[in-house]
């Protein structure tokens, strides 16, 4: 018979407060985690899930696709570099489309339609991307399709219209949905919304790079005036991404530390309250290890219950939040938070072991407690 389990089953009231408090912390951690994931995945997909292993930027771009500008001629220079198999010109333009009622901000991504382009979305849900045989049309991010720009509809930017011929997934950039079209159409749209570019030659922002097998971005020696960053470095350099992630991570870790302290405080009080009983049980022959493992088991029980309750509440919250709030409930984040919560609980409970070890069984006699 396990005392810890029996107490957990029979004296539920004792654990309601701790489980309730931990559930709220887990709920907070998971909501923050889901918002963080929503922001991160919504803002980086265009790079993170793309077919490029690395990107070439102009030297002053600081990792931003929007700020970068390279001549089209750089393509041949990049493809001549050791380790680079293909370089695909990509233009990026933040603009607004009037094709959705009320307008919708988006990033138009223009790329040179060619075989196996580097830097285009890796997941095509429906239709196709503009290709070498048929460079017309636009493939839109799922978020735009959900907003009404489905297959066969028309996307218009600054008077330049293209039929939607494909829907892609996980392709957001800087928190905005993207639309993928040919570099020529991109240039037309850019000239339409920013007249200062009218009549100028097509100029891509960056090049998506496909690298030879076994070659990493830091091994590529780019031509003068060009910098090369890995896919990961590129999406982590998207303005705000690193800062958002580190801020939310700091809040999450602080919350988990609070969870550990709550458990430590709770079990410290429990041990204090049970001093007399523990002294008697030790006098009867129960070891500190046995009593301590019971406390740890109860901490695990309380934190696991809290994870279940908190996760259910967070998931339900996600179901009722407006769709424009970037909320992504990922199993990986849930598992990570659950493991950390239980670990924090166990560590908190372990702190009470010293108190248990210091209870003198001799105090059970003589009514000295």
Partner 1 sequence: MTTEATPQIATEGNQASPILTVDAVTKTYGEGHTAVTAVHEASMQVSKGEFVSLLGPSGSGKTTLISMIGGLLTPTSGRVQVGDVAVSDLESKQLTSFRAERVGFVFQASNLVPFLTARENLIWVASLRKDHGRTARKAAGRRADELLEELGLTQRAGNVPEQLSGGERQRVAIGRALMNDPDLVLVDEPTASLDTEMGRQVVQLLRREIKDRGKTGIMVTHDLRMVEYTDRVFEITDGLLEPGGDPAEHAAGGHATKH
What are the residues binding partner 1 (CB under 8 A)?
A: 1, 3, 6-7, 10-11, 276-277, 280-287, 361-362, 364-368
Pull the structure tokens for residue 185. Answer: 């159409």
- Nearest distance from C-beta of residue 15 to partner 1, angstroms: 11
> Closer to partner 1 at the Cβ: 286 or 346?
286
> Closer to partner 1 at the Cβ: 221 or 362?
362
CA dist 247 and 40 (Å) reads 12
Going by C-alpha positions, the residue among 25, 178, 27 that lies closest to residue 110 is: 178
**Plot region of 74 (φ>0 → left; ψ -120 to 50 → alpha; else → beta):** alpha
> Closer to partner 1 at the Cβ: 72 or 277?
277
- Nearest distance from C-beta of residue 24 to partner 1, angstroms: 26
**Alpha-carbon Rg for the chain in angstroms:** 29
Instruction: Cite the DSSP H helix spans in 241-369.
Output: 241-273, 275-284, 288-320, 331-350, 353-357
Q: How many residues would you count in the chain?
A: 369
Q: Exposed, middle or buried by CB within 10 Å (0-12, 13-18, 19+), for 343?
A: middle
- Nearest distance from C-beta of residue 336 to partner 1, angstroms: 34
- Nearest distance from C-beta of residue 275 to partner 1, angstroms: 11
Taking a C-beta distance cutoff of 8 angstroms, is the pair 59, 226 a contact? Answer: yes
CA dist 259 and 274 (Å) reads 22
What is the pairing mode between strands 54-58 and 154-157? unpaired
- Nearest distance from C-beta of residue 307 to partner 1, angstroms: 24
- Nearest distance from C-beta of residue 365 to partner 1, angstroms: 5
- Nearest distance from C-beta of residue 7 to partner 1, angstroms: 5
> Closer to partner 1 at the Cβ: 190 or 282?
282
CA dist 239 and 63 (Å) reads 8
> Closer to partner 1 at the Cβ: 14 or 245?
14
Helix (H) or strand (E) run with residue 206 in it:
strand 206-211
> Closer to partner 1 at the Cβ: 283 or 321?
283
> Closer to partner 1 at the Cβ: 281 or 314?
281
3-state secondary structure of 160: strand
């Amino acid at each position: 018979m396990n005392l810890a389990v029996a107490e957990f089953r029979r004296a539920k009231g004792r654990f309601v407060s701790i489980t309730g408090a931990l559930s709220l912390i887990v709920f907070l951690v998971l909501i923050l985690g889901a918002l963080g994931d929503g922001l991160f995945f919504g803002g980086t997909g265009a790079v993170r899930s793309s077919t490029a292993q690395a990107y070439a930027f102009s030297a002053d771009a600081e990792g931003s696709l929007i700020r970068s500008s390279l001549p089209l001629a750089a393509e041949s220079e990049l493809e001549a570099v050791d380790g680079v198999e293909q370089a695909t010109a990509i233009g990026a333009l933040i603009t607004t489309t009037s094709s959705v009622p009320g307008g919708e901000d988006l990033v138009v991504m223009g790329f040179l339609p060619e075989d196996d382009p580097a830097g285009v979305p890796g997941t095509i849900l429906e239709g196709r991307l503009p290709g070498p045989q048929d460079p017309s049309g636009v493939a839109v991010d799922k978020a735009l399709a959900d907003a009404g720009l489905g297959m066969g509809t028309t996307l218009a930017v600054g008077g330049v219209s293209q039929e939607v011929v494909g829907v892609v997934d996980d392709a957001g950039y800087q928190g905005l949905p993207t639309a993928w079209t040919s570099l020529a159409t991109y240039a037309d749209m850019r000239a339409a919304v920013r007249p200062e570019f009218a009549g100028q030659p097509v100029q891509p922002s960056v090049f998506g790079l496909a690298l030879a097998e076994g070659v990493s971005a830091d091994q590529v020696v780019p031509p003068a005036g060009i910098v090369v960053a890995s896919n990961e470095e590129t999406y982590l350099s998207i303005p705000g991404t690193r800062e958002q992630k580190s801020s939310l991570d700091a809040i999450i870790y602080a919350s988990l530390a609070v969870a550990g302290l709550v458990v430590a405080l709770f079990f410290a009080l429990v041990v204090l309250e049970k001093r007399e009983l523990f002294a008697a049980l030790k006098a009867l022959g129960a070891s500190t290890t046995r009593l301590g493992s019971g406390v740890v088991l109860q901490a695990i029980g309380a934190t696991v219950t809290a994870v279940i309750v908190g996760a259910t509440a967070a998931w339900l919250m996600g179901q009722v939040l407006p769709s424009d709030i970037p909320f992504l409930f990922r199993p990986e984040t849930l598992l990570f938070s659950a493991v950390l919560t239980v670990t924090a609980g166990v560590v908190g409970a372990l702190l009470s072991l010293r108190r248990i070890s210091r209870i003198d069984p001799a105090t059970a006699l003589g009514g000295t407690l």
